[in-house]
Amino acid sequence: MKKEDCFFLGKIVKKYSFKGELLIKLDTDEPEIYENLDAMFLEVRGNLIPFFVEHSQLHKSDLLRVRFEDVNNEADADALLKSDVYLPLELLPKLEDDKFYYHEIIGFSIKDTKFGDVGIITSVNDSTAQALFVLDRNGVEILIPMNDEFIKQVDKPNKTIVVETPEGLIDLYINE
């Protein structure tokens, strides 16, 4: 399994018991969806390795307490601490038509209701307080906040997102 065929589920943050149980901090709004998984991939030394789940249960809202097969003691658990956890993309829950996962919209074009074609989404920057569409417009990088008020339409079949940005936002990038 390759990383590009997977999505990031969370990170192993600490041990839970001396019997090898671990706590995974889940990166999701719906942790209950991932409570009864059979297996998951852990990134160990740069490789994704499948681990089979013996038992799991939610622990304090966004933590998943997991017991993996063949992880039976503290030493085994220590080796997995701070590992990133991944699942195959096909396990992502389906979203409504106007909702999307960040990885899905790479390559989509952005059209502004007033400006017209703005550019192609190259990535999403979610390291800021407000997530941003990162666009390429003929070699010029344009950043547009991913604000629900700005997003007017998501057309997945035609790979287009229609936005209505504040007056002058796009011009800031183009008229330099």
Query: Which domains, from first to last, does the chain contain?
Result: 3-91 (2.40.30.60), 102-174 (2.30.30.240)
Among candidate residues 106, 18, 139, 140, the one with its CA nearest the CA of residue 67: 18
Distance CA 82, CA 68 (A): 15
**Which structure tokens are listed for 114?**
């007033």
> pTM to 2 decimals?
0.70
pLDDT in tens, the chain (176 residues): 888 889 999 999 999 988 899 999 998 878 888 988 999 999 999 999 999 999 999 988 789 999 999 999 999 999 999 999 999 988 888 877 778 888 889 999 999 999 999 999 999 998 888 899 999 999 999 999 999 899 999 999 999 999 999 999 999 998 75
If one counts every other C-beta atom within 10 angstroms of the C-beta of residue 32, the result is 11
Residue 104, Cβ density class (10 Å: 0-12 exposed, 13-18 middle, ≥19 buried):
middle
Residue 77 DSSP label? H
